[in-house]
């Protein structure tokens, strides 16, 4: 009897141990599935881009050299990002020789904005009604000023992709007086796009990490084409040009601050809608046309505001405000809702 009781007890113990091991193994398996799913999403976010025609993109002949620690993107993307294109830097004046052997204390305060001789800029009272020649003159001057604060990037691979994106979107533009668009890539930790007057569209270098393919890049560029077509920045400036406070500001600072502050929410919704319609016109599925906004939702949740440094050194408060202009956009959820309920 005692022997039978021992056998039953040992059997029950073994069954309990086996059940615990199965449960632990199942929990580990579920956690592994979740990690693999997350890794798969990240891998798709950074997979080598395909062209719109699905042809493989040839490698850039130039090696990339931007260190991954300059890109303030989610940690998973940083870990897998290996290279990025060189930046175009403005040569600085060589420091004067010194005989002192005691190193000076490091100055950690942000410097003043660069002092660059810019051409005189007079803004007309009605920016939305100015001629193309006048708009082009102001656009060229403002473009030069922006590059003194935010040097551009050079990459043959990016340039080929952007040229193909422009080629597909150019026929749909409303303003035929714009012969072509010039897309400038700005070195930055943050994801942002903007435009102002004339033909200029600006994208941050981090945008190329967030976009998984050329369809998503098309969406970003199409939004800025919509802003240029509607003269959204010019109309937004109309509320500032004629105010007493704005009249005291330098015209370049006035325009720069307006770019950093962003556009009205309705203008952003309209540009999303135009970009979505163009992708559908080009034969993309609704799922692909909404791909960037779906990815942007996760970015907006994970990405903090800019620090005082970026790839070119210190950022002054106004420069940080421009690079954080995505914080003043309507939320990605609201933008998705607007497009999916149309």
Pair of tokens at residue 94:
């060589």
CA gyration radius, the chain: 26
21 φ/ψ sector (left φ>0, alpha ψ -120 to 50, else beta): alpha
Q: Where are the domains of the chain?
A: 68-87+120-340
Average pLDDT over residues 178-194: 91
Q: What is the pLDDT of residues 99-140, one digit of tens each?
A: 444 554 444 444 444 456 777 888 888 898 999 999 999 999
Q: What is the DSSP string of 27-53?
A: HHHHHHHHHHHHHHHHHHHHSPPB-TT
* Spacing of C-alpha 57 from chain mean position: 21
More confident residue, 152 or 102: 152
User: Quick one: pLDDT at residue 30?
Assistant: 65
Average pLDDT of the chain, as a whole number? 75
Pair of tokens at residue 154:
């050079």
| CA 278 – CA 272 distance, rounded (Å) | 10
CA atoms within 13 A on the CB side of 178: 24
75, 303 contact by CB (below 8 A): no
225, 201 contact by CB (below 8 A): yes
Pair of tokens at residue 237:
């400036």
Tell me which DSSP letter residue 288 carries.
H
| CA 262 – CA 296 distance, rounded (Å) | 17
Q: What is the pLDDT of residues 245-273, one digit of tens each?
A: 555 678 899 999 999 999 999 999 999 99
70, 323 contact by CB (below 8 A): no
Average pLDDT over residues 199-218: 92
Q: What is the pLDDT of residues 281-328, one digit of tens each?
A: 999 999 999 999 988 887 776 665 544 444 444 456 888 888 888 878
Q: How confident is the model at residue 68 (pLDDT cuts 50, 70, 90)?
A: very low
Model confidence, pTM = 0.65
Secondary element (H or E) of residue 332:
helix 332-340
Q: How confident is the model at residue 86 (pLDDT cuts 50, 70, 90)?
A: very low
User: Quick one: pLDDT at residue 122?
Assistant: 84
| CA 276 – CA 271 distance, rounded (Å) | 9
């Amino acid at each position: 009897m005692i022997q039978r009781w021992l056998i039953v007890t040992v059997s029950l113990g073994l069954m309990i141990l086996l059940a615990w091991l199965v449960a632990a193994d199942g929990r580990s398996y579920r956690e592994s599935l979740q990690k693999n799913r997350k890794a798969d999403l990240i891998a798709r976010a950074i997979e080598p881009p395909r062209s719109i025609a699905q042809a493989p993109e040839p490698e850039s002949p130039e090696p990339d050299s931007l260190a991954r620690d300059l890109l303030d993107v989610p940690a998973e993307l940083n870990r897998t990002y290996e290279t990025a294109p060189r930046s175009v830097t403005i040569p600085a004046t060589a420091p004067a020789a010194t005989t002192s052997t005691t190193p000076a204390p490091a100055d950690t305060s942000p410097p003043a904005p660069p002092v660059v001789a810019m051409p005189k800029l007079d803004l007309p009272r009605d920016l939305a009604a100015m001629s193309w020649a006048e708009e082009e003159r102001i656009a060229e001057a403002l473009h030069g000023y922006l590059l003194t604060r935010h040097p551009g990037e050079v990459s043959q691979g990016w340039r080929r992709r952007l040229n193909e994106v422009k080629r597909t979107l150019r026929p749909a533009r409303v303003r035929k007086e714009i012969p072509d668009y010039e897309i400038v890539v700005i070195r930055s930790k943050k994801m942002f796009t903007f435009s102002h007057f004339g033909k200029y569209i600006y994208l941050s270098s981090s945008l190329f990490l967030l976009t998984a393919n050329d369809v998503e890049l098309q969406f970003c560029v199409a939004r800025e084409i919509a802003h240029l077509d509607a003269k959204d920045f010019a109309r937004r400036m109309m509320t500032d040009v004629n105010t007493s406070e704005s009249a005291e500001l330098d015209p370049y600072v006035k325009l720069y601050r307006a770019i950093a502050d962003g556009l009205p929410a309705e203008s952003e919704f309209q540009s999303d809608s135009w970009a979505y319609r163009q992708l559908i016109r080009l034969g993309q599925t609704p799922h692909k046309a909404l791909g960037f906004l779906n990815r942007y939702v996760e970015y907006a949740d994970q990405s903090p505001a800019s620090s005082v440094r970026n790839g070119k050194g210190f950022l002054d408060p106004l420069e940080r405000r421009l690079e954080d202009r995505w914080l003043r956009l309507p939320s990605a959820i609201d933008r998705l809702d607007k497009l999916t309920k149309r």
